[in-house]
Amino acid sequence: MEGRNHSSDSLASNSSNSKLGRDSASSSRGSAVKSLSSSTSASNEYFPDFDSKVTIKEPSIVDSPTPLLTGEKIQGAARDVTYLCPFIGPVRGALTVTNYKIYFRSSDREPPFILDVPLGVVSRIEKMGGASSRGENSYGIELICKDLRNLRFAHKQENHSRRNVFEKLQQHAFPLSHRMGLFAFEFKEEYPENGWTMYEPVAELKRQGLPNESWRITKLNENYDICDSYPAVWAVPAAATDEELRYVASFRSRGRLPVLSWIHPESQATITRCSQPLVGVSGKRSRDDERYVQLILDANAQSHKLFIMDARPSGYESEDAYQNAELVFMDIHNIHVMRESLRKIKEICFPTVDDVHWLSAIESTHWLEHIKCILSGAVRIVDKVENHRTSVIVHCSDGWDRTAQLTAIALLLLDPYYRTLRGFQVIIEKEWLSFGHKFAQRIGHGDDRHSDADRSPVFLQFIDCVWQVTRQFPSAFEFNELECTGFGEFEGDEKRINTNQGRSESFDNKFKF
């Protein structure tokens, strides 16, 4: 297929032999970078030239004692504040609050100690001490952050500075809770490339060699009336009619029927994703759904078996309803278990834990156990597709949390394109944003309801998994953990919402790349 060279670059090859655990940095099969630099192993159409990749323009900084982005404004400030650093001890200086960040600059050190924290990373804000507090540095403000940091700033009571800083922090860290707009709408920086058009679904499907005799591209959902949390463009079995797609959607949770995520360039084995079928405890069945799953199996002439990978520990789905299909449970826990695991991680990170108890404390959080489970599930998918040439259907309950984790990581291992800088952006747009991961609910941008039951580190776990893979195969990636910038798409829960917001003038200019 034009533009795709798969065999020499897949991290998936021999995944059944625990390839993830082997050091293959020097191997041509595990190195996207090596393929990118070779004129014979991959086409220029498929892999962008490293020397001609997109230029990333740094946001301009307004000349000010407190560096400001375009659209950023100072909202409050306090002098003679002490930052209680857990590593180097108390640091005296000045604290500035803008509509984007909190900025602390020391006054007693040279070079100055600087702390620059975007307010979007703040989970909650609390006051330390009261009017009767007498201990040194016992009166002030504490910021509990989403990135595991706790930031403490001590104020002097006689300065009467805490109240104003606290109020400004509350307003601008949680603007939605105060009926204010997000800073994203104030940021007017211009970039050389329009990031809204960076991912084009039809172009991405064509890159994968679609449509073909077995799969077609449909815009049946372009008005989001079949499924409001799905993308407008799908790839579905060619033999499935639009009417059948509607029937199948009615039997799947929230209308999220199986649609294609990726197709193997040689074997035509596929990864499709969806939500759970609505079988219930009574074991309801749908002939339309069963026939549709059979069409997915039939589209792969290399295999007469299909694997249904359920991300959950258990479910009501039965193999009896789907001929030639094997049901596998991945044992990945729900958002509430993951939220509790992250809470435990935060507890052992601040205050610090003695080195003697560090490993046991980490183990008690089960965080790494969850990461291992997600990675293992993705490797099982990869093994079925790459080594057994078998198609796989992946789902959880609604198909926008654990399913996104599994499909995105599996694609990252299977296809070297997704390990390039642009490809990684595409995979996030494709597998997370367009398929309706609820970023706003899970992360809580601009919302002060830090204990909301919908909060969960689902995307954070994905990033952790990617980091684990980049640590094992650094030369297979065009990027590392420094690839981090501002993206406008993460403000909403669904592609439908982001599309409507993203076309407004105020929003369209803010994060064009």
Q: Is the pLDDT of residue 400 over 50?
A: yes
399 annotated to a ligand binding site: yes
Number of other residues whose CB lies within 10 A of the CB of residue 67 = 16
More confident residue, 491 or 79: 79
Amino acid at 187: F
Q: Is the pLDDT of residue 63 over 50?
A: no
Q: Is 93 annotated as a binding residue?
A: no
Q: Provide mean pLDDT across the span 129-150.
A: 86
Please check the confidence at residue 105 and state whether its pLDDT lies above 90.
yes
Residue 432 annotated in ligand binding: no
What is the percent of the chain where pLDDT is above 90? 62
Residue 398 annotated as lining a ligand binding site: yes
Q: Where are the alpha helices (DSSP H) in 138-254?
A: 162-173, 201-207, 242-250
- 274 catalytic? Reply is no
Is 149 labelled as part of a ligand binding site?
no
Mean pLDDT of 70-77: 93
Note the pLDDT tens digit of each residue in 443-488. 888 888 888 888 999 999 999 999 999 999 999 999 888 765 555 5
Q: State pLDDT tens for residues 238-251.
A: 999 999 999 999 99
Q: What would the pLDDT profile of 179-189 be if each residue is shown by its tens digit?
A: 888 888 888 77
- pLDDT tens-digit map of 148-161: 889 999 999 988 99
Nearest to 145 by CA among 417, 440, 450: 450
Concatenated DSSP letters for 279-346? -TTTT---HHHHHHHHHHHHT-TT-S-EEEEE-SS--S--GGGSTTEEEEE-----HHHHHHHHHHHH
Ligand-binding site membership of 396 (annotated): yes
Mean pLDDT for the chain overall: 83
Measure the CA–CA gap between 203 and 423, rounded to whole angstroms.
13
pTM above 0.75, yes or no: yes
Which of these is catalytic: 145, 227, 274, 396?
396
Write out pLDDT tens, residues 16-52.
444 443 333 333 333 333 333 333 333 333 333 434 4
Is residue 462 within 8 Å of 406, Cβ to Cβ?
no
Name 154's bridge partners. 82, 140
Token pair for 87: 């590593």
Radius of gyration of the chain (CA): 25
Q: Per the annotation, does 401 bind a ligand?
A: yes
Q: Give residue 348's pLDDT.
A: 84
Query: Would you place residue 356 in the very low, low, confident or very high pLDDT band (cuts 50, 70, 90)?
Result: confident
Q: Is the pLDDT of residue 57 over 50?
A: no
What pLDDT is stored for residue 486 in this prediction? Answer: 53
402 labeled part of a ligand binding site: yes
